A and B are shown apart, each in its own frame.
Chain A
Amino acid sequence: MDLDRAKLTFIIEAHELLDAMETSLLAPDSSESVNAMFRAVHTIKGSAGLFGLDSIVRFAHTVESVMDRVRAGSLPFTPSLVDLILACHDHMARQIEELQEGEENGSPGTLAASEALLARLLPYMEETPNPHQANKSLVSPSWQHSPEEEESGQPTWHISVRFGEEILRQGMDPLSFLRYLMTLGTITHLTPILDRLPAGAAFDPEHCYLGLEIDLDAQVERQVLEDVFEFVREDSQIRIIPPHSKVEEYLKLIRELPEGDLYLGEILVQGKCLTPKDLEEALSTQRQEAMEGGTVQGRLLGTIVVQDQALPPAVVAAALDKQKRAKEKPSHELKVVKVQAEKLDRLVDLVGELVIAGASANTLAAKSMDSRVLEATAVITKLVEEIRDNALSLRMVQIGETFSRFRRIVRDVSQELGKSIELEIQGAETELDKSIVEKLSDPLMHLVRNSIDHGIEPLEIRRARGKPDTGSLSLNAFHESGSIVIEVADDGGGLNRQRILAKAVERGLIQDPAALTDQEINLLIFEPGFSTAESVSKLSGRGVGMDVVKRNIDELRGTIEVESYEGAGTTFRFRLPLTLAIIDGFQVLVEDTSYVIPLDIVLECLDLGPILESEQNHLINLRGEALPFLRLREVFETPGPFPARERVVVVQIGDTRAGIVVDRLMGEFQTVIKPLGELFRSVKGLGGSTILGSGEVALILDVNQLIQLATARRPNARPRLSTTA
């Protein structure tokens, strides 16, 4: 019917609105663009409701509420919020696309994405526990039961209305409400009340002086009757008295409510004993009493509704009983299957073997030159890749859980030290291997405690430095060029490099202070037995900890960077591999030895040109940039003549680039990392080994150590990649 055409209009309209929203989001500074964003979400929500697209409505509603707060100026439009709203925008676009494809209620994937985004929006929402209940206001609680009605036992509602004087001017006709009541049931008795009618000159024909006492025979809920008068409620007095027989029904409804953790008011509303407006009125009475009495709370809600005769005590008692039982029930179930970690590890191991076996089959197939075999192995390779990714993703967990444990720690520790510190968490949904997450928790704990204890200054110093009273500590996780980066940043005093240097010289850790870069000085704090804190506090400062942090991160094949500005704060940055088990590798040859470079750090490959004048400095000119390089042949002391053509693999870790010179490039393949034996632990530049398809062993390079070797030759000129480089 016509509705389908209207839906099509809606889809087109929604796409246009979303486009406009995106444009505004990318330039969110003016109030008009914020307004435009709000209007886009608002209109989509409004129209979606017409088609009963509840999932879209629900999502848009939350986004709209957040945007409304931004619009009202009660919420700053921070870049992270902009990102979030952008993500929400993309999500709505997806919802509309699904609708276009005929998926009215949204696919399970999209619904899950909705939940995830809604959870992220939650912190930006206003902190009213029950916005839906609270928004619908009014009802006068002062009405009294009429005893006769009670005794008669008739299933008759009694409605008492005193219309507001202004309603005629507002376009409301008292008669229209009576007409509408008659569509709900039979009006058995009607008494007009004219006692407010003034005499003579005081009478204004545009004023309404009418009151009505109505007896209505109708099988309806209280809410329905209340809604009849919703447009005149605010100016008029409406009292609705339930028929006696309703009480039994209320009790039954309350008992049948699904279990859940609810407020008493919510139970009463869901049991249809009170309307949300009644509840709001009772709650505001409660608040008012609390204010007037100067106490924390006025009378209890149950007491209020009983004493105001809104409900008989039996109903409230039943609701309280329900609430008590609900609290004993456990909370909701998660839709997850719990699997023992060992089983997962075993699976990942097996997949590793499968990868190796697959590579072996590939090699044989390539030799056979049989196109059918090649085709078959190609399919298997693709499937193995997928299985590998899936198996690894099973072990991936979000870091958010680890992060959020720090909320408590930050709160406790900062209170203990009498500092006011706010913890900001970003990238909680970033995933990484469970085995890594487990080993991260200790180093993170050390750094967080250190930041609270030594990083963020006492209040007096903060004030003197013109910083906000509340210190800020942030935990941030994100993916960057194939690795995961985790940051612990504070806005505290920063590292005191002078003191670090003095201490390092005193402890004999360094000889020549002048030769060190800032970064290298910063990293000194990770040396064993190093602590510059003047006083040893209960939490940190004993010089144990930071070296443990370094060791933990090393074990994870990760690196640490420290960025610190004196007086402005410190950021510790861990860079970790996504997984410990299987990586995409890039195979290279020196003579007949195979080496593997993790593919995600490989930037490009090129020929090493004719020997340059800077050969002795080990630098090549990469499009104008000085790139330090090293020959694997030299590092591992491989015998044999230099080949006629050498190749350079350009790698990047963090913002440091270097070239690795090899004989031949063999291409990419999947690598299962096998640890090196004890014998090779101390060899610099090797991170592990792997087995090639041919059954030969290849060595996996620890590129980080190699880069350090390459750059260490020129200690005064570390290549930094930045806009100025």
Chain B
Amino acid sequence: MAKTIMIIDDSASLRQVVSITLTGAGYEVLEACDGRDALAKLTGQKVHLMISDVNMPNMDGISFLKAVREVPAYRFTPVIMLTTEAGEEMKKAGQAAGAKAWVVKPFKPEILLTAVSKLILP
């Protein structure tokens, strides 16, 4: 049974590439275009990992993280946050919100795959 990963990012091209990469490695992928969209799509089904951008319209990554931790089904789900080196302040705010796994943008697809496999293997 393949493990499911949800990718939350406002860039369609980024979602597309991440999705191709992860699917190729044997994961199932769900997509959402921002935090609000993601919360609407998370309806209790098993998600093994979430990958979320920080800087997004409507609901940013940090608010999403806070919100999703309130949902019992996703309390212990690992979340990888996508950030930039320029966003150190944001990273601090994120850490305060309990985000531990960070992947620095820009990244190559294989970097993300490595980070994912540290948390869940397919």
Question: Chain A residues in contact with chain B, CB under 8 A?
Answer: 2-3, 5-7, 9-10, 13, 38-39, 42-43, 45-52, 57, 61, 64-65, 68, 72, 131-132, 135, 166-173, 176-177, 179-180, 183, 227-228, 230-232, 234-235
Q: Is the CB of A232 within 8 A of B117?
A: no
Give, as a whole number of angstroms, the nearest-CB distance from A313 to chain B: 33
Q: Write out, one digit per residue, whether chain B residues 47-63 have a CB within 8 A of any chain A CB (1) or not (0).
A: 00000010100000000
B85 touching A49, Cβ below 8 Å: no
- Asked if B118 contacts A6 (CB within 8 A), the reply is no
A9, B15: Cα distance in complex, Å: 10
Given contacts A47-B11, A64-B86, A170-B98, is CB(A39)–CB(B55) below 8 Å? yes
For this complex, 26 residue pairs linking A to B, each with C-beta atoms less than 8 Å apart, are: A13-B13, A43-B11, A43-B14, A46-B11, A46-B84, A46-B105, A46-B106, A47-B17, A50-B17, A50-B107, A57-B106, A64-B86, A65-B86, A72-B89, A135-B88, A167-B100, A172-B78, A172-B101, A176-B121, A179-B121, A231-B80, A231-B102, A231-B118, A231-B119, A232-B100, A234-B100
Residue of A nearest to B21 (CB): A50
| B78 and A6 form a contact (CB under 8 A) | no
The answer to whether A135 touches B85, judged by C-beta atoms less than 8 angstroms apart, is yes
CA distance A45 to B87 in the complex (A): 13
User: Which of A43, A51, A64, A171 interacts with B78 by CB under 8 Å?
Assistant: A171
B16 touches A9 (CB 8 A): yes
The answer to whether residues A49 and B105 also contact, given A167-B100, A172-B100 and a CB cut-off of 8 A, is yes
Given contacts A10-B13, A48-B106, contact A171 B88 (CB under 8 A): no
Given contacts A170-B100, A227-B114, 14 further A-B contacts (CB under 8 A): A2-B20, A6-B20, A13-B13, A50-B14, A50-B17, A50-B106, A131-B85, A167-B100, A170-B98, A171-B76, A171-B78, A176-B118, A231-B102, A231-B118
- Beta-carbon contacts under 8 Å, B88-122 to A: 88-89, 95, 98-102, 105-109, 114-115, 117-121
Cβ of B2 under 8 Å from chain A = no
Determine whether the beta carbon of B17 is less than 8 Å from that of A6: yes
A234 and B95 in contact, given A6-B20, A135-B85 (Cβ under 8 angstroms): yes
**Chain A proximity of B52: nearest CB distance (Å):** 12
Contact A168 B119 (CB under 8 A): no
CA distance A2 to B17 in the complex (A): 8
* In contact, B100 and A228 (Cβ under 8 angstroms): no
From B18, B115, B119, contact of A172 by CB (8 A):
B119
CB distance from A299 to the nearest CB of B (A): 27
Query: Cβ of A171 and Cβ of B77 under 8 Å apart?
Result: yes
Q: Is B10 an interface position by the 8 A CB rule?
A: yes
With contact pairs A10-B13, A47-B11, A48-B106 given, residues A61 and B118 touching in the complex (Cβ less than 8 Å): no
Q: Using CB atoms, name the residue of chain B closest to A168.
A: B76
**Residues of B close to A180: CB separation below 8 A:** 117-118, 121
Contact assessment for B76 and A46 in the assembled complex, using a CB-CB cutoff below 8 Å = no
CA distance A151 to B119 in the complex (A): 34
* Chain A residues whose CB sits within 8 angstroms of the CB of B14 once the complex forms: 43, 46-47, 50
**B10 with A43: CB separation less than 8 A:** yes
Which 8 interchain pairs have the tightest Cβ spacing?
Answer: A49-B106, A171-B78, A10-B13, A46-B105, A231-B101, A9-B13, A6-B16, A68-B86
In chain B, what residue has the closest Cβ to A5?
Answer: B16
Name A50's contact: one of B13, B79, B102 (CB within 8 Å).
Answer: B13
Name which residue of chain B comes closest to A233, CB basis.
B100
A468 → B minimal CB distance (Å): 29
- Inter-chain contact B78/A42, CB cutoff 8 Å: no
Taken together as a complex, chains A and B put the C-alpha atoms of A38 and B55 apart, in Å, by: 10
Nearest neighbor of B120 in chain A, beta-carbon distance: A176
Kindly list chain A residues whose C-beta atoms are within 8 Å of the C-beta of B67: none
CA of A7 to CA of B117 in the docked complex: distance in angstroms? 25
**Are the C-beta atoms of A50 and B119 separated by less than 8 Å?**
no
Given A171-B78, A234-B100, A61–B17 Cβ distance below 8 Å?
no
Name the B residues within 8 Å of A52 (CB-CB).
108
A64 to B16, CA, bound (A): 23
Q: Are B17 and A3 in contact (CB under 8 A)?
A: yes
Q: Is B12 an interface residue (CB 8 A)?
A: yes
| B77: min CB distance to chain A, Å | 5
Tell me, rounded to whole Å, the shortest Cβ–Cβ distance linking B13 to chain A: 4
User: Complex Cα distance A132/B104, Å?
Assistant: 11
Partner of A3, one of B20, B107, B121: B20
Q: How far is the CA of A13 from the CA of B10 in the complex (A)?
A: 10
Bound Cα distance from A5 to B20, whole angstroms: 11
> Closest CB-CB distance, A225 to chain B, in whole Å?
12
Q: Inside 8 A of B98's CB, which chain A residues have their CB?
A: 166, 169-170
A709 → chain B closest CB, angstroms: 59
CB contacts (< 8 Å) of B77 on chain A: these are 171
At the interface, yes or no: B82 with Cβ under 8 Å from chain A? yes
Task: Provide the bound-state CA to CA distance between A48 and B107, in Å.
Answer: 9
Q: Which residues of B contact A7 (CB under 8 A)?
A: 13
Q: Which residue of B lies closest to A1 (CB)?
A: B20
Neighbouring A residues of B101 by C-beta, 8 Å: 171-172, 230-231
Distance in angstroms between the alpha carbons of A49 and B117 in the assembled complex: 20
Contact A183 B11 (CB under 8 A): no
For A46, A51, A64, A234, the residue with the greatest tally of chain B CB atoms inside 10 Å of its CB is A46
Cβ-defined contact, B86 with A49, below 8 A? no
- Give the distance to chain A from B24, nearest Cβ to Cβ, in Å: 9
Q: Which residues of A contact B82 (CB under 8 A)?
A: 46
> Which residues of B sit under 8 angstroms from A230, Cβ to Cβ?
101, 118
Contact B17 A51, beta carbon cutoff 8 Å: yes
